[in-house]
Chains A and B, each alone.
Chain A
Amino acid sequence: MNTVKFSLLAIFAAFVLLIFAHWLKLDYFYFAGYTILQFIVMATAWNILGGYCGYVNFGSAAFFALGAYASVFLHKTYPLPVPILMVVGALVSGIVGLGTGYLTLRLRGAFFSIATLAMAVVLQTLVVNWDYVGGSRGAYIIRPETVEIGGLTINYIEYLFILMVALAVLALVTAQSIEHSQLGYGFATIRDDELAAEASGVPTLRLKLIATTLSGAFMGMAGAPFPYYIGYLQPQSAFGLEYAVNSIAMPMIGGTTSWVGPLIGSILLGSLQQLATVTISSAVNLLIVGLLLVGFVIIAPNGLIGLVQERLRARRRS
């Protein structure tokens, strides 16, 4: 499928979703849907670096929180509309991604992963000590009831939902177009054999830096509207390990080789968690995610997509 066709299809699907949500008129649907869409963006962003290049980022929560705290900072100094905040979040997280990548990506992959993990701890330390954005006490963001766009008055949560749908479409279209571009083939050579790629003249460092920047930027964008969604932002919740583990678990469970994997993974796991949080408890739902992650990497290394592909191949053979 070429990119134009894919984008049109994605935009069409987004409109169907929006009209359905509007017709449903259920606030809970917006709240739950927002979380799942946020995971779609996070998982897709993680997969650009993790799935396509084979570099594991454990600091997804840090990139996400950077976007969120950039919004808090601007909310206090100079309030801007949320779409612009998303661009700011993308810039901040993208630059941090580039910096971390530049320092660590010249070494073995494991160093990058460890550095991202440590980076999350340090950024959290910085935010905890930074009183202007609330420090360890957290920051309150009063969300307006409604927002007006071109004469239309929209419910604020619906507005955030629309923005997240748009972002998810953007992330998926980006991921899909990377897959079939020169960039994507370059990424794949890094994943399969970096040394051979380097020797054949693939500019591996530059490609890896593009991937970290892009991946970081999408995570920052996902985080930017978060303070408005949650209303009260605390370092512990923004930097929570559950973002890091979800961003890894969702692509791993869905399958990391194409854009479909993170999408399926985040819809399934996201809905499951919504269900588990409501019915059991949030600690148990995190345990489920962790166990699924461990189970899938051991038993089904190529995720659900891999399982389906194997099944199809087996059927064709028989």
Chain B
Amino acid sequence: MDFSTLDLLLNAIVAGLLLGGFYAAVTVGVSISFGILDIVNIAHPAFVILGSYLAYFININVGIDPVIVSLVALPVFYALGGAVYQIYYFSFERRGQEALRGLAFFFGLLFVTEVSLILVFGVDYRYVEASYIGPSLHFGFIDVPLRMLVPCVIALALFGALELFVSRSFLGRAIMAVSQDQLALQLMAADPIRIKRIAFGISIATASIAGALLIIIQPIEPSVGRDYIGRVFAICVLGGLGSLPGSLIAAMLLGMVESLTSTFYGPSWSPAVSFGFLLLTLAFRPAGLLGR
């Protein structure tokens, strides 16, 4: 292996780890909704894109940093998530129809969000402006672009906070309890529906932050979200459903493999990686890396 290949390889690995950190932020919402609550929210990437466009809109018109916009928008997304869960519960979960109609509902939601964004913003690529987009840090021959580093750090912080919340706080433990035994929780005089609504609200709230990070990393257009469906669920399944640390490891792994693929075979192949991961996991280890 000559010097330039080694150079490429190391750069690809670093870029992959940074990308993986970001993927973890996109996935964490699905880890909560799909992994813990058993709600197959395939519309999650659409909410992420919604977050991106909100960050874009405020950034372009007022000039506020996209990450700050996303933090301010957290309650809005939380409320949106709560409302979506309420509809989902009354229309599907309560009637035991979540399998067929619930899935179709989320698919419709994904589609409606995407088409609405196309109608409002068009299909042009949009991007934001911030001081950390552009410059890079250099360590020897390894480049660390700040536009990748900042999202990765924020994503890891988000991830850590959620992991602490789920494992330590009372509400977090109640959320885990809901996934294990809903009836037992009811017998302890806690309302499982309320807890699920809160958890789903949190899962959609993470989409606000993930959306801001997405538009820092790459210019976006409304259908970008579709590429993330395969990724997000591949990470979720590979990590093991309901395991947050597992999905962080899986996200890093997928980010790295994708980055290596796009460095050595061309970026047009990288969407195929996640599907390969997903199929291999489903075929050989459906419980995932750290599955329960």
Minimum distance in angstroms from A123 CB to a CB of chain B? 9
Minimum distance in angstroms from B172 CB to a CB of chain A? 24
Interface residue from A248, A249, A252, A283 paired with B118 (Cβ < 8 Å)? A283
- A-contacting residues, B264-289, CB 8 Å: 266, 268-269, 271-272, 274-276, 278-279, 282-283, 286
Closest to A256 in B: B100
Does A109 sit within 8 A of B, measured CB to CB? yes
The distance in angstroms between the C-alpha atoms of A118 and B275, with both chains bound, is 6
Does A301 sit within 8 A of B, measured CB to CB? yes
Check if A114 sits within 8 Å of B42, measured CB to CB: yes
Check if A118 sits within 8 Å of B111, measured CB to CB: no
Interface of B (DSSP majority class):
helix
Closest to A136 in B: B268
Minimum distance in angstroms from B30 CB to a CB of chain A? 10
In the complex, identify which listed stretch (A166-174, A175-183, A287-295) lies at the interface while the others stay far away: A287-295
Check if A58 sits within 8 Å of B278, measured CB to CB: no
Check if B115 sits within 8 Å of A286, measured CB to CB: yes
Minimum distance in angstroms from B271 CB to a CB of chain A? 5
**Interfacial chain B residues near A298, Cβ < 8 Å:** 87, 91, 105
Does B155 sit within 8 A of A, measured CB to CB? no
Minimum distance in angstroms from B120 CB to a CB of chain A? 10
**Interfacial chain B residues near A110, Cβ < 8 Å:** 34, 40, 99, 103
Check if A109 sits within 8 Å of B282, measured CB to CB: no
- B-contacting residues, A250-293, CB 8 Å: 252, 256, 283-284, 286-287, 289-291, 293
Minimum distance in angstroms from B207 CB to a CB of chain A? 18
The distance in angstroms between the C-alpha atoms of A205 and B101, with both chains bound, is 22
With known contacts A54-B99, A294-B105, A297-B101, A122–B112 Cβ distance under 8 A? no
With known contacts A122-B230, A284-B119, A286-B115, A249–B42 Cβ distance under 8 A? no
Check if A297 sits within 8 Å of B112, measured CB to CB: no
In the complex, identify which listed stretch (A7-15, A125-133, A206-214) lies at the interface while the others stay far away: A125-133
Closest to B114 in A: A241
Does A33 sit within 8 A of B, measured CB to CB? no
Interface of A (DSSP majority class):
helix
Does A111 sit within 8 A of B, measured CB to CB? yes
Does B174 sit within 8 A of A, measured CB to CB? no
Does A56 sit within 8 A of B, measured CB to CB? yes
The distance in angstroms between the C-alpha atoms of A289 and B104, with both chains bound, is 12
The distance in angstroms between the C-alpha atoms of A106 and B271, with both chains bound, is 25
Check if B230 sits within 8 Å of A107, measured CB to CB: no
What 1/0 flags go to B110-148 for Cβ under 8 Å of A? 011011101100000000000000000000000000000
Size of interface on B: residues with Cβ below 8 Å to A? 45
The distance in angstroms between the C-alpha atoms of A291 and B223, with both chains bound, is 18
Check if A245 sits within 8 Å of B230, measured CB to CB: no
What 1/0 flags go to A55-97 for Cβ under 8 Å of B? 0101000000000000000000000000000000000000000
Closest to A251 in B: B104
Does A50 sit within 8 A of B, measured CB to CB? yes
Check if A56 sits within 8 Å of B104, measured CB to CB: yes
The distance in angstroms between the C-alpha atoms of A113 and B226, with both chains bound, is 14
The distance in angstroms between the C-alpha atoms of A297 and B116, with both chains bound, is 20
Minimum distance in angstroms from A286 CB to a CB of chain B? 5
Does A163 sit within 8 A of B, measured CB to CB? no
Minimum distance in angstroms from B187 CB to a CB of chain A? 25
Q: Give residues in B with beta carbon < 8 Å to A.
A: 34, 40, 42, 87, 91-92, 95, 97, 99-101, 103-105, 107-109, 111-112, 114-116, 118-119, 223, 226-227, 229-230, 233-234, 237, 266, 268-269, 271-272, 274-276, 278-279, 282-283, 286
Q: Give residues in A with beta carbon < 8 Å to B.
A: 50, 54, 56, 58, 103-104, 107, 109-111, 113-115, 117-119, 121-122, 124-126, 128-129, 136, 241, 244-245, 248-249, 252, 256, 283-284, 286-287, 289-291, 293-294, 297-298, 301
Can you pick out 8 interface pairs between chain A and chain B where the beta carbons lie within 8 Å of each other?
Answer: A56-B103, A58-B103, A107-B286, A111-B282, A117-B233, A118-B230, A287-B112, A294-B112
Closest 3 A/B residue pairs (Cβ): A118-B230, A294-B108, A122-B275
